[in-house]
Amino acid sequence: MPSYTVERAYQYCQGIARGHYENFPVASMLLPRHIRRPVSVIYAFARMADDFADEGTYRSEQRSQLLQQAQNNLHLAAQGQAVDEPVYIALTDVLSSTPDLLEPMLNLLTAFNMDVHKQRYANFGEVMEYCRYSANPIGRMLLILYGEASVKNIAYADAICSALQIINFLQDICADYNDRDRVYMPADELHRFQLDEQDLDGQHQHMQFAPFMDLQIQRAYRLLQAGAPLGVRLKGSIGLELRMVILGGWKVLQKLHQNRGDIGAPARLHKRDWIWIIAHAFSSKFAVYLHKLTTA
């Protein structure tokens, strides 16, 4: 007999979601009520797999084994055979009603495996390949749950999610290098701007940081802008949440642009930024407004 009922398993996942909220709209009251629980389960699974890839003192071989077991358990859940753990018990229930979620969840595991085995990216194409597995599945799963996973909507969502992943990389350049020995900045572009990996530790001031960061910021902005129409296409509270996410991303890009000569400077959102974001997300002129935004 399972240790958790389905209801208790959902409650367990919701507790994880509330306790580890980051850049994932898990516990947001703006999400339609009928998708909050499955979103919390997806988040709990992703959080667990991310811990396998990053947390603790596991060797890389052990991390790979843990992620492989997570993949096996995910397949079992999709087949209605839940492992006796609350996340998988809840996942079995979610996947029974929404089997299309399986592919993007497997893609997330691919990204976590990449984090274990790949610490450097030769060019922007490789970075975008990582985004395909690490970020884009999040948007796709939300569209599936919301019943809006058309080809056009998925293309918009992919652009937004890739932009947000790149923004996250730009915020964490120093932490990724110093704490995790990872460099998500394209190696060929670092070389083009005469930057070395060691320059990414936040302790160096280099005259080429500004133009290098300008390139990264403008690229992320173009992706964010390309996906912005989805904020108008999706109606109701989920559209509002998406507009807030888009405008929040733009605000961070603006701060990164202001700090671009100092990659160690923080680029976080404050209360006044959120007031601005909320006010403009409610604007009926959101699409026109975003079209006019620049990072200058």
Query: Tens of pLDDT along 111-168?
Result: 999 999 999 999 999 999 999 999 999 999 999 999 999 999 999 999 999 999 999 9
Longest Cα–Cα distance in the chain: 64
Cβ 77 vs Cβ 85: under 8 Å = no
Q: Collect contacts of 250-254 with beta carbons under 8 A, ≥24 apart.
A: 250/221, 250/224, 250/290, 250/293, 250/295, 251/276, 251/277, 252/167, 252/171, 253/167, 253/217, 253/220, 253/221, 253/224, 253/295, 254/295
pLDDT of 295 reads 46
Burial 40-64 (b: 16+ CB within 10 A, else e): bbbbbbbbbbbebbeeeebeeeebb
Q: How many CB atoms lie within 10 A of CB 6?
A: 15
Q: How many CB atoms lie within 10 A of CB 175?
A: 12
* Lowest-confidence region among 19-23, 38-42, 142-146, 233-237: 19-23
Q: In a 3-state reduction of DSSP, which class is residue 17?
A: helix
pLDDT band at 28 (very low <50, low <70, confident <90, very high): low
Residue in the block written with tokens 């811990």: 51
In the chain, domain spans:
1-117, 118-296
Equal CATH topology for 1-117 and 118-296: yes
pLDDT in tens, 227-269: 999 999 998 888 988 999 999 999 999 999 998 778 888 888 9
Under CATH, which number does the domain 118-296 receive?
A: 1.10.600.10
Measured CA to CA, the distance from residue 277 to residue 9 in angstroms comes to: 35
Measured CA to CA, the distance from residue 131 to residue 137 in angstroms comes to: 9
Cβ 90 vs Cβ 9: under 8 Å = yes
pLDDT band at 24 (very low <50, low <70, confident <90, very high): very low
Under CATH, which number does the domain 1-117 receive?
A: 1.10.600.10
Q: Which helix (H) or strand (E) holds 257?
A: helix 236-258
The residues near 224 (Cβ < 8 Å, ≥ 6 apart) are 159, 160, 163, 164, 167, 246, 249, 250, 253
Cβ 133 vs Cβ 107: under 8 Å = yes
pLDDT band at 183 (very low <50, low <70, confident <90, very high): very high
Q: How many CB atoms lie within 10 A of CB 264?
A: 16
pLDDT in tens, 150-166: 999 999 999 999 999 99
pLDDT band at 58 (very low <50, low <70, confident <90, very high): confident
Q: Please check the confidence at residue 9 and state whether its pLDDT lies above 90.
A: yes
- Give burial (CB, 10 Å; 0-12/13-18/19+) of 241: buried
